[in-house]
Chains A and B, each alone.
Chain A
Amino acid sequence: MDDDKVFKTLADPSRRKLLDSLCDHNGQTLSQLCAALEMTRQSVTQHLGLLEDANLLSTTRKGREKLHFINPIPLYEVYERWIRKFEEGRLSLLHDLKTQLESDQP
């Protein structure tokens, strides 16, 4: 799968929300995802199609239900290619600093 497709697919906030929802609760049905995101069935179906096309989502059937699973492999490949390579150590320090400064707790 090419990186372009992954980046383009992730460029949409609704699709990122769908991935977040699956990350919290993997293997959801279409109805569960619609309820979690307060989006119409039609629009969720369309976003799920694009996510599956970019290999960010995999599905399986359980009886009459179709279950959706986040597939993080392309994300990991993007991470390996575009993040790890660039000074991971320093980035993680900066990330920790930001988290600490922005949190209420010292």
Chain B
Amino acid sequence: MTDKSASFIYVTYIRATPEQVFEAIIKPEIALRYWGHANVSDDWQPGSTWKHVRASDANVVDLVGTVLENDPPKRLVLNWSNESQQHDPDHTCIVAFDIEPALDGVKLTVTHTDLQPGSGMLAGISKGWPMVLSSLKSLLETGQGFDL
């Protein structure tokens, strides 16, 4: 059986409302300002597909998956794979966004599980999430994301 034991938990505190954080994940026009990508889905309902498209070229789809849970503005769970590996369950991982009120804003927890140790996906997300989440925080708190 394929080893998919690797996982990460990322936590960031953002001075914003849960709704703002939730929308920043699912609304393409906001994601483009901090992620270098947009997340696109017809309705974000469980069972629907979503894709992660490049800001520089909307025709390039880097990641795809299906929505597993959607409870705005508290929780969104997606499965997630490289576009080229989308039919291979061994290369499909799970990303959960949990948003809860904390301090003077929200605590956003991103839990990325079912990753293969040593995989390209693992290497990519280890670099990617800290940048994306710091950029999201920067956008919501200062109006300016990073150039990713």
In A22-40, the 8 Å CB interface with B consists of: 26-27
Beyond A69-B7, A71-B10, 13 additional contacts (C-beta under 8 Å) are A1-B13, A55-B13, A60-B9, A69-B9, A71-B9, A72-B130, A73-B130, A73-B134, A76-B131, A76-B134, A77-B134, A80-B138, A80-B146
In A11-28, the 8 Å CB interface with B consists of: 26-27
User: With A and B bound together, what is the CA distance between A60 and B137 in angstroms?
Assistant: 23
Q: Is B6 on the interface with A (CB-CB < 8 A)?
A: yes
Q: Is B44 on the interface with A (CB-CB < 8 A)?
A: no
Q: Is A10 on the interface with B (CB-CB < 8 A)?
A: no
Total chain A interface residues with beta-carbon distance under 8 A: 15
User: With A and B bound together, what is the CA distance between A59 and B109 in angstroms?
Assistant: 11
Q: Is B12 on the interface with A (CB-CB < 8 A)?
A: yes
Residues of B contacting A: mostly: strand
User: With A and B bound together, what is the CA distance between A73 and B130 in angstroms?
Assistant: 5
A-B interface contact total, Cβ < 8 Å = 40
User: With A and B bound together, what is the CA distance between A25 and B130 in angstroms?
Assistant: 18
Residues in chain A near residue B13, CB distance under 8 A: 1, 55
Among A26, A60, A72, the residue within 8 A (CB) of B6 is A26
Contact A58 B109 (CB under 8 A): yes
Interface footprint category on B:
10 to 19
Residues in chain A near residue B111, CB distance under 8 A: 60
Contact B10 A73 (CB under 8 A): yes
In A61-101, the 8 Å CB interface with B consists of: 69, 71-73, 75-77, 80
Q: Is B11 on the interface with A (CB-CB < 8 A)?
A: yes
Residues in chain B near residue A59, CB distance under 8 A: 9
User: With A and B bound together, what is the CA distance between A75 and B13 in angstroms?
Assistant: 13
Residues in chain A near residue B8, CB distance under 8 A: 26, 69
The digit string for B113-148, where 1 denotes a CB below 8 A from any CB of A, is 000000000000000011101100110000000100
Which residue, of B6, B131, B133, B134, has the highest number of chain A Cβ atoms within 10 A?
B134
Residues in chain B near residue A69, CB distance under 8 A: 7-9
Contact A55 B11 (CB under 8 A): yes
Write the nearest CB–CB distance from B35 to chain A, whole angstroms.
Answer: 15
User: With A and B bound together, what is the CA distance between A75 and B134 in angstroms?
Assistant: 10
In B1-20, the 8 Å CB interface with A consists of: 6-13
Among B6, B7, B133, B146, the residue within 8 A (CB) of A73 is B133
Decide: A80 near B134, CB < 8 A? Known: A58-B109, A60-B111.
Answer: yes
